[in-house]
């Protein structure tokens, strides 16, 4: 079995926790490390949260690297639940993981260059503002040769936004970084709100996370504490777990369908952070991304629950979970 070598670039975040644990539980994926950025909460807190999440998995071999503390150009903004800060110990138990001294941008650059030297490439799962990735590409353009693809959770087209009426949060938090990544020439997969809103997890699904040992209990605590439902918008109970779709796509691409398009981000003005996808060639620009448009809701939900449950199975230790 070919194992996908990935860096998870994240801003934990409740959704990020689910995505990171899903990856760490999946033997198809080799998580090389986490590069952490400010976003949902300030950098100090995203790093604490990332260390707690990795600690829950028992994966002491997966390093956590602190990166950019703010966006490239725009003023700092935080997520809807910024008041969470670092996960409370009553929700996510403290562990013994400490962040690496190596900066996240240097980590991305180093691993990309090592991949080139080995005749390989890595995938970056971008599930937060893309500041770290943009800085790596700007400062060291050669690293693009070591990146196979960027699988990003971000953007909103027909669904409009959730942080503002027009913008999805990851893009809104650093639209200049997103635009740099979109224009990089790298293969990009975009998981927008249009798709993530199609798969809604209910309290019954959260209850099933509890089968996943301490990791699953922590996810149950987080998703049960912070309500993600919006009947007015979704028309039914439940809420999305956006970021985990990036990992699910790597494991089971057959659960998803998409279309090629030229994608960009608005970097100035009232609609800063707005993303557009030219599906019909109106701009006369070649496609630069694959936009995922549909997901098999039931299949995705079952996959995530099954992977989290692996943390509760006897015999799964620090080296057995995805590497």
Is residue 8 situated within a structural domain?
yes
Task: Kindly name the residue from 65, 162, 176, 242 that is annotated as catalytic.
Answer: 242
Over residues 68-95, the pLDDT tens digits come to 999 999 999 998 766 778 999 999 999 8
Is residue 323 situated within a structural domain?
no
Is residue 25 situated within a structural domain?
yes
Is residue 177 situated within a structural domain?
yes
The strand pair at 188-191 and 289-295 is best described as parallel
Residue 77 CB contacts under 8 Å (≥ 6 apart), including other chains: 163, 172, 173
Over residues 2-51, the pLDDT tens digits come to 799 999 999 998 999 999 999 999 999 999 999 999 999 999 999 999 99
Average pLDDT over residues 222-226: 92
Over residues 125-152, the pLDDT tens digits come to 999 999 999 999 999 999 999 999 999 9
Structural domain harbouring 263: 4-312
Is residue 163 situated within a structural domain?
yes
Q: Residues of 184-194 as b/e, b for ≥16 C-beta within 10 angstroms?
A: bebebbbbbbb
Over residues 169-190, the pLDDT tens digits come to 999 999 999 999 999 999 999 9
**pLDDT higher than 70, residue 316:** no
User: Looking at the DSSP assignment, which residues form a beta bridge with residue 100?
Assistant: 65
Region label for 33, one of left (φ > 0), alpha (ψ between -120 and 50) or beta (otherwise)? left
Is residue 119 situated within a structural domain?
yes
pTM (2 d.p.): 0.95
Q: How many domains, in total, are found in the chain?
A: 1
Q: Would residue 176 show up in a list of annotated catalytic residues for this protein?
A: no
Is residue 320 situated within a structural domain?
no
Is residue 322 situated within a structural domain?
no
CATH number, domain of 214, equals 3.90.245.10
Average pLDDT, whole number, for the chain? 93
């Amino acid at each position: 079995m070919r194992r996908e070598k990935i860096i998870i670039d994240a801003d934990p975040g409740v959704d990020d926790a689910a995505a990171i644990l899903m990856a760490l539980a999946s033997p198809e994926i080799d998580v090389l490390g986490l590069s952490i950025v400010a976003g949902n909460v300030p950098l100090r807190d995203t790093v604490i949260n990332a260390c707690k999440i990795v600690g829950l998995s028992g994966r002491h071999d997966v390093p956590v690297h602190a990166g950019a503390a703010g966006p490239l150009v725009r003023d700092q903004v935080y997520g809807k639940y910024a008041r969470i800060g670092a996960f409370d110990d009553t929700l996510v138990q403290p562990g013994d993981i400490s962040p690496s001294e190596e900066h996240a941008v240097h980590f991305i650059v180093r691993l990309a260059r090592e991949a080139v030297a080995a005749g390989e490439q890595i995938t970056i799962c971008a599930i937060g503002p893309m500041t770290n990735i943009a800085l790596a590409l700007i400062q060291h353009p050669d690293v693009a040769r070591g990146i196979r693809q960027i699988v990003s959770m971000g953007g909103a087209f027909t669904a409009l936004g959730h942080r503002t009426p027009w913008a999805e949060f990851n893009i809104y938090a650093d639209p200049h970084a997103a635009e740099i990544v979109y224009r990089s020439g790298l293969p990009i997969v975009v998981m927008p709100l249009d798709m993530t809103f199609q798969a809604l997890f209910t309290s019954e699904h959260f209850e099933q996370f509890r089968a996943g040992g301490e990791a699953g209990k922590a996810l149950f605590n987080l998703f049960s504490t912070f309500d993600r439902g919006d009947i007015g918008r979704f028309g039914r109970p439940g809420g999305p777990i956006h970021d985990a779709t990036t990992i699910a796509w790597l494991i089971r691409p057959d659960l998803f369908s998409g279309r090629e398009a030229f994608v960009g981000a608005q970097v100035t003005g009232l609609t800063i952070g707005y993303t557009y996808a030219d599906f019909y060639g109106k701009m006369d620009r070649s496609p630069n991304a694959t936009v995922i448009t549909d997901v098999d809701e039931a299949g995705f939900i079952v996959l995530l629950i099954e992977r989290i449950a692996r943390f509760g199975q006897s015999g799964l230790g620090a080296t057995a979970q995805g590497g």
